[in-house]
Amino acid sequence: MSFTSREFAASPANVFAVLVDPESYPHWLIGTDRIRDVDSNWPAIGSKFHHVVGFGPLKIADDTEVIDIEDGRMLQLKVRARPLISAVATFRVVGEATSCVVTLEEEPAIRSIGNLVRPLLDPTVHMRNHRSLRRLAAVVDEAQPGAD
């Protein structure tokens, strides 16, 4: 499992609003190219957003599904870029009025395969998630009321 966290100079509500906005993902989640569609009942459990992920000419169309959500506090997603990637990503937001901490835990959806490739992939996933949370902080800063 990859575990990453970052402190944000923003309210938990402002951060969570960006996390549940699929259109924001190409701006901060490394590897997300574009959003193709979003289910009308997003972010209800079972709803999906459909995306294109990858780099350069290697792009895959797939989807991300809400597994669980606690409004303003936790978002758990089943992320896929088949046939290569299937994982569960859990975002938690804890904080007060003007600051919070976001944690991101990501683990392979299929543990038997995940256990085989984890030693190779965990450092890369951790680095990607660390950089993605840094980019998320910049997106949140831009989205906050009063931001230029």
Q: Domain range for residue 123?
A: 2-143
Let me know if residue 38 belongs to a domain. yes
| pLDDT value for 80 | 83
Let me know if residue 44 belongs to a domain. yes
Let me know if residue 148 belongs to a domain. no
Let me know if residue 25 belongs to a domain. yes
Counting the structural domains of the chain, the total is 1
Show pLDDT as tens, one digit a residue, over the chain (148 residues): 789 999 999 999 999 999 999 999 999 999 899 999 999 999 999 999 999 988 888 888 999 999 999 999 999 999 987 766 788 999 999 999 999 999 999 987 765 454 555 566 677 888 989 999 999 999 999 987 665 5
| pLDDT value for 112 | 47
- d(C-alpha 82, C-alpha 134), whole Å: 26
- Listed in order, strand segments (DSSP E) in 29-99 are 32-38, 48-55, 58-70, 74-81, 85-95
Contact between 8 and 104 (Cβ < 8 Å): no
Let me know if residue 108 belongs to a domain. yes
Q: What is the CATH number of the domain that holds 78?
A: 3.30.530.20
| pLDDT value for 45 | 98
For 37, list phi and psi in degrees, rounded to 5.
-165, 160
| pLDDT value for 4 | 94
| pLDDT value for 124 | 80
